[in-house]
Structure 1
């Protein structure tokens, strides 16, 4: 059966949108993978949201585009708060300066990137891509810094935003059609695969970081009401609320636990805090139009505030 145009658009936009940044230009995606020895680190992993993406990728001067995304993204904004509020300079003296002014950001996140400069395209980041590309670097850094005798060079905070690419494409493809006969199966398969990978990621991060290092995950917001897809069919936004948060939706049934509930429960099992962004972003916080995922700077500011709340209460 032929799907409505808005359904096909939903799948395409969400699959390409929920990404991080993989650029052929190494400097565009390294984010400072080799930080200065002896100084503390804030380590970020994930997809395009963690990468700060606020619009469709620009192929011309891509490194500059990436730098602009990152400078305004939630990771950079959260880092500014950490530098001011986090005490990561242990010292015996009661007059020791508080704060973490020397904190370095290592952002391993990336976005999906088109083929350029003779390099093949890279898809948007999924949990499996985090396992393959980002987790080995993250675990090695955590073991080296948090496992040595120098408390001043520790990875002080770890954040991760990933999973959208695992879920949105398969679920919207199966469910947003006139007769969603394969919807329940698609949700079950996508949720199970995500849960396995997400638990593996957080388990390895926790084991390498140690019990005292804050790890903060992120639930996903619903951008569909604020873009062309939701404007063309308001049911898309209602559906996204349902599979993100669970509950009962006429025509689809009851979902005991939504996607965000999986993030919350797996995070709790691994001693991770959760920055809960569902319902936080609204009108004026998204790129909008045909971009049905990425926040503007105001949206990233709200996401950063959720990370601050998770970190400091």
Structure 2
């Protein structure tokens, strides 16, 4: 059933005049007549009775009118539900303790009244996250998406480079360093449990390892952040890598140390993925916020050459 014909029928029923309906709809009287005729052919009944003074509803038209209005109301609700800005922006932040989540939270706090939902698709790799954006499961996602995996219809902009830091316990040989070079980590065991094969972070750490001759492993079960912090506090040889804005909590007695990496500074290249042409106003505001609010990056950045820009 043609929605435009339904809308035309309702306007004719309310005005009683084909010309008045045409004026209200911004179409010709001939177009109104064609729409009504098509609707009557579809329903196989006469919905309007033509008179010298205009038109009035037939008996079937009187029965049909309230249903037509309900259909048009449902169509309007459906359009409103997906109209840009009519619903909260749904953003995949990958993990609530890492940099994208902190940035989105600061954006939310600085934009009073903004409606958005921060979600995690942490079990998806970058290519699958891009498909989730393309299919409308989320509006945007922060991912280190390889340039050769950007699907058609996806816009990618690298807006959030997160510098890495070394996290060690007080007994580690590098615990008192003010900063270290990635090359200084060669020979030290860096443990990052939970690296899943096929994910962009697995590719990132493999590229980092190859570039600087590091020993990064994910051996053993991942018992969570608390277990990792406990292990680091008790170890004189174990270290891990975290983002400079990642939020971790540990007991004061652990005395863990976060040590910046420089010369060069490895960064995790978070890119904002969205559907090409998406006009959601909150997405536009978030993108502008990321472009203007981010602090200048270090001069000696290292990032994988496969990362999309």
TM-score (norm 2): 0.31
Would you tell me which structure has more helix in proportion to its own residues?
A: 1
Kindly name which structure, 1 or 2, has the bigger radius of gyration based on alpha carbons: 2
